[in-house]
Amino acid sequence: MARRKQAAPLQREPSDFSQGPPESPSHGWKQPNGNALSSASTTSNGTIKAPTPSNTQAQPGLTQLLICVAGIYASFLSWGVLQERITTTTYGPPSAPERFTYSIFLNTIQSTFAALVGYIYLHLTTPNPTPSIFPTRSILPPLLLVAITSSLASPFGYASLSHIDYITFILAKSCKLLPVMFLHLTIFRKSYPLYKYLVVALVTAGVAVFTLYHPSSSSKKSATNNSIWGLSLLAINLLFDGLTNSTQDHIFTTHRSYTGPQMMVAQNILSTLLTTSYLLLSPLLPTTTPLTPTSTSEFTAALTFIQRNPAVLPAILSFAACGAIGQIFIYYTLSKFSSLVLVTVTVTRKMLTMMLSVVWFGHRLSGMQWVGVGLVFGGVGAEGWIQRREKMVKEREKKREKGF
């Protein structure tokens, strides 16, 4: 099969914030020959602001746009439904019901699929020779840190689902700007424009309203404590996400020839090695943490669970495949269209994921919860719109300067 060169090369520059797993990767692009367009940055929901393709390149058509949108929607809507099904469905006979709680095993399957699919994409979309995913020794420590933090984030996120519902999980995961801003303010002493603080306040208020006005249940007297504990676990997850994104920014700043597909493959290979090592060595490790409440090896327990409940295996494999393929559609969209398209698709995709969860799994939301939903997505959408306007103003200024 002939290899095809990317039509619109992109280069990733340092950004205020970026995204972690897996639906909207914070990866950058650069043409293999080193030619790059204007710099890119990321938005608060994790998407990358891509430069406009050169006028000499063939402009993508409506058919390509529809394919990209359909691919992202199909991949990540399916991914979201499968994630909720795997983590919340009760398996086994009524006398002995059980749930799949083996998040590290699930994360290992996901990263393995993503590494394989990412390498195939890297191989097919770059000219000979395929660029090395570990080009220098100096890139290994930060890549390893990214793999560690991303691997640690996932178990806390899955653990939170035992205490909060999936819709709350989706809304809170839209607050990715909060931990990244916190890290930049406390560690890097970086300031932000006023509107970003307002966006964070709006999104945080939306999540708080949604959580506080959750329909009460007489059978759940400890619902409030459960929610607080669940949100605490999710906050740790978001903090690890923020550290992952900040480290990725550092990698792209210090290794400017490093591309998004290379990062995708390298991060997922290292994550797979780390989580596989944990699964094999876990019987020798302490098991007193809230994430590993039993003394049984997670690897053995997960395989035994699948053997008892084979219906979960297709969902696990489909979940991993959808996540990996979805990342490829994200990359392809970034290489063909502006960031405004990707921001719109990402925000609406998260809204549709939430709506699909309500319909598919029969969740009920109160009136105030819908207000909270509106605050969250309104804040995320407003941030993306402001970012887009700022970029357009800068582009007009550059054109004026070139005209004189």
Tell the residue number behind the tokens 């690897």, with chain if given.
299
0.85 surpassed by pTM: no
132 to 129, 250, 293, 404: CA distances (angstroms): 9, 19, 40, 43
> Is residue 217 included in any domain, yes or no?
yes
In this structure, is residue 393 part of a structural domain? yes
Beta bridge partners of 41: 49
Is 4 contained in some domain?
no
Write the DSSP string, 174-229: T-THHHHHHHHHHTS-----HHHHHHHHHHHHHHHHHHHTPPP-TT-TTHHHHHHH
Does 5 reside within a domain? no
Question: Is 402 a domain residue?
Answer: no
How many independent structural domains does the chain possess? 1
Q: Identify whether 2 is part of a domain.
A: no
Task: Copy the structure tokens of residue 190.
Answer: 């970086």
Q: Residue 101: is its pLDDT beyond 60?
A: yes
Say if residue 393's pLDDT is above 50.
yes
Is the model more confident about 180 or about 150?
Answer: 150
CB atoms within 10 A of CB 129: 7
Q: What's the pLDDT tens digit per position in 265-302?
A: 999 999 999 999 989 887 776 655 544 444 468 899 99
Whether 404 is in a domain gets the answer: no
Which residue range is the domain that position 368 belongs to?
11-54+62-90+99-397
Average pLDDT, the chain: 75
Instruction: Assign 23 a pLDDT band (cuts: 50, 70, 90).
Output: very low
Q: Name the range with the highest mean pLDDT among 85-89, 112-116, 182-186, 236-240.
A: 112-116
Tens digit of pLDDT for each residue in 184-239? 777 767 777 888 788 778 877 877 777 677 665 544 445 566 678 888 888 888 88
